Every structure is written in structure tokens, then in C-alpha cells.
């Protein structure tokens, strides 16, 4: 965690995180606009943030898009805050809350088409691949059974909260074992909405949107594996993207905990 604290100690780097918190997926040029810093300085600060896993970089053609990654702050807050005096850690908790829940303004909301999240897990690519594709495994941390032969073009069946969701458009897009997995998101049925307690108004918004897709990139790094999840929507300001932005962080924290300790995170109460 030393790299995280070092990265957060600099006011310029905190400003860059604030800008990404306001609008994710910016290029270096966009991040430089309005800042009283040279392009080279911004680039160096971003390199420190990326090294600390506070920023994820996704290449789109010749451009590099920068995304806020709250995983390290989640880890500090979830694993340490409960062990120490709450008052002494309130600033860290406030930062965690701001990164996860601060609402974007309408302009920024309408520009967002991707949710990117990166985490580092002490496991192997083979074990992580199993955790992403084995229904017995996904049930433990996701409470969803994903069933497929995991070949590109094959259909994918979701079983969640007693509801089975199948559709010809629920398909595997990419499958390179232990390296890359991508598939289209599930169909939003009334039965599914009822099982998860979703209102008719939200269901109507979800069904009106084009189907989204999610990708998992797996990169071995010594004893660790870097997992980058990219959930892409077809339209800016997607209702689904807002929802998965809140759903993926705790889900991936549970996945990480399961792979590293054999136990899933406790469910929130209240």
C-alpha cells in the first residue's frame, strides 16, 4: 500500500483523480486542459497513479484513455478502517465514498460509455479463469451461475435468484483461456427484475437500451494476476452503466477475497 499513500499525498495527483471522478476515460490532452501543469508533469503524475493502481489505462486506437480505479482505496477502507479509531480514518473513508458514489453532472454522465475497473489478485491465471467461467465458482461470489462451453459465438445462460435467462443474443464474444474473456450482457426480463427487486420504471429504461458487453483481461504479474474489467454500453449515459458502476466493485472485491482466502465477503446488513 506504500505506492497508494505516496500517490495520494500529492495535491496534483489528487486533482487528477478528482477530474477522472468527474468524467472517466479522458486522454492526456483532455486531462491537461485547465490545469496549470506542463503536459510532461501531468504524464509523470499519471504514471505514478497507474503504478499505484489508482488509474487504469485502456488503449483505443492511438489514444490512451485514463479511468479512475478505486480498488486500492476500497482495500484500505474495507480491510483497515474497521481495525482502527474511526475518527482517525474518517478522511480516508470520505475519500472512498467520494470516489465510489459522487454523482456526475449531466454533461459528464452523458459522455460516459464505459466502466473500467482493475484489481490485483494473488492467484494464477488458470484459477482466475475458472472463477470467471465455472458456474459453481460464480455462484459463490456472484450468486449467478454462468453456463456455456465458452467458445466464441456460443450462447451463455444466466441463472440468478431462481430465474433462468437465455437468449440467442447472450453470446460469448471472445475466449482466450487464461488471458481474455468477453460476452454480451444478459436480457432484462420481468422475471429477473422481480427476483432482484427492480421497479418497472428502471426495467423499462434497461430494456430500451442496446445490449451491453463486458470484457475481462487477465495479465500474470509474478505471484499476482492483474484483472481489468471493461463494461461497455452502446449509448452514452446508459442506465445499466450507472448500475454496474455500483455493482462491479463489491463483486470483484468478493472474487478477490474468495481466491485469496477461500471465503467470500460478508453480505452488507441494514
**Percent of the chain at pLDDT exceeding 90:** 48
Residue range 46-60: average pLDDT? 86
Highest average pLDDT, of 13-17, 40-44, 185-189, comes from 185-189
User: Cα separation of 155 and 16, whole Å?
Assistant: 41
Residue 125 and residue 220 in contact, taking contact as beta carbons nearer than 8 Å: yes
What are the pLDDT digits (tens) for 111-133? 568 888 888 899 999 999 999 99
Whether the predicted pLDDT of 24 surpasses 50: yes
What are the pLDDT digits (tens) for 199-242? 999 999 999 999 999 999 999 988 899 999 999 998 887 899 88
Whether the predicted pLDDT of 91 surpasses 80: no
Q: What confidence score (pLDDT) does residue 83 get?
A: 53
Q: What confidence score (pLDDT) does residue 122 get?
A: 93
DSSP symbols for 80-121: HGGGS-TGGGHHHHHHHHHHHHPPPPHHHHHH--EEEEEEEE
Per-residue buried b or exposed e for 188-202, using 16+ beta carbons within 10 Å of the residue's own CB: bbeebbeeeeeeeee
For the domain spanning 113-261, the CATH number is 3.30.530.20
In angstroms, how far is the first alpha carbon of the chain from the final one? 30
Q: What confidence score (pLDDT) does residue 264 get?
A: 74
What are the pLDDT digits (tens) for 160-181? 988 999 999 999 999 999 999 9
Q: Which residues contact 55 (CB under 8 A, 6 or more apart)?
A: 16, 17, 20, 46, 49, 66, 67, 68, 69
CATH number for 2-108: choose from 1.10.10.10, 2.40.50.140, 3.30.590.10, 3.30.70.2190: 1.10.10.10
What are the pLDDT digits (tens) for 132-150? 999 999 999 999 999 999 9
Q: Grid cell 487504469 — which residue?
A: 56
Q: What is the mean pLDDT of the chain?
A: 84
**Percent of the chain at pLDDT exceeding 70:** 82
- Of the two residues 168 and 89, the one the predictor is more confident about is 168
Question: Domain spans of the chain?
Answer: 2-108, 113-261
* Of 242, 246, 249, 232, the residue nearest 60 (C-alpha): 232
Which residues, in sequence order, are bridge partners of residue 121?
225
Whether the predicted pLDDT of 109 surpasses 50: no
Whether the predicted pLDDT of 155 surpasses 60: yes
User: Cα separation of 70 and 8, whole Å?
Assistant: 12
Q: What confidence score (pLDDT) does residue 235 get?
A: 83
Confidence class for position 62, pLDDT limits 50, 70, 90: confident
Q: What confidence score (pLDDT) does residue 1 get?
A: 65
Amino acid at each position: 500500500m506504500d505506492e497508494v499513500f505516496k500517490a495520494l499525498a500529492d495535491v496534483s495527483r489528487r486533482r487528477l483523480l478528482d477530474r477522472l471522478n468527474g468524467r472517466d476515460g479522458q486522454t492526456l490532452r483532455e486531462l491537461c486542459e485547465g490545469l496549470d501543469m506542463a503536459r510532461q508533469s501531468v504524464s509523470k503524475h499519471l504514471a505514478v497513479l497507474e503504478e499505484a493502481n489508482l488509474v487504469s489505462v485502456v488503449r483505443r486506437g492511438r489514444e490512451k484513455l485514463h479511468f479512475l480505479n478505486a480498488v486500492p482505496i476500497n482495500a484500505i477502507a474495507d480491510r483497515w478502517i474497521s481495525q482502527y479509531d474511526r475518527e482517525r480514518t474518517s478522511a480516508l473513508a470520505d475519500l472512498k465514498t467520494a470516489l465510489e458514489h459522487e454523482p456526475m453532472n449531466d454533461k459528464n454522465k452523458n459522455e460516459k460509455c464505459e466502466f473500467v475497473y482493475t484489481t490485483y489478485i494473488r492467484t494464477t491465471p488458470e484459477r482466475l479463469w475458472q472463477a470467471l467461467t465455472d458456474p459453481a465458482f460464480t455462484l459463490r461470489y456472484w450468486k449467478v451461475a454462468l453456463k456455456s462451453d465458452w467458445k466464441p459465438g456460443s450462447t451463455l445462460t444466466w441463472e440468478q435468484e431462481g430465474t433462468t435467462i437465455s437468449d440467442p443474443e447472450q453470446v460469448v464474444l471472445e475466449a482466450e483461456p487464461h488471458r481474455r474473456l468477453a460476452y454480451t450482457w444478459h436480457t432484462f426480463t420481468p422475471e429477473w427484475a422481480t427476483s432482484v427487486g427492480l421497479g418497472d420504471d428502471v426495467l423499462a429504461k434497461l430494456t430500451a437500451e442496446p445490449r451491453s458487453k463486458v470484457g475481462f483481461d487477465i495479465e500474470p504479474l509474478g505471484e499476482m494476476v492483474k484483472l481489468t474489467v471493461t463494461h461497455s454500453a452502446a449509448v452514452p449515459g446508459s442506465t445499466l452503466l450507472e448500475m454496474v458502476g455500483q455493482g462491479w466493485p463489491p463483486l470483484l472485491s468478493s472474487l478477490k477475497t474468495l481466491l485469496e482466502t477461500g471465503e467470500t465477503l460478508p453480505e452488507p446488513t441494514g
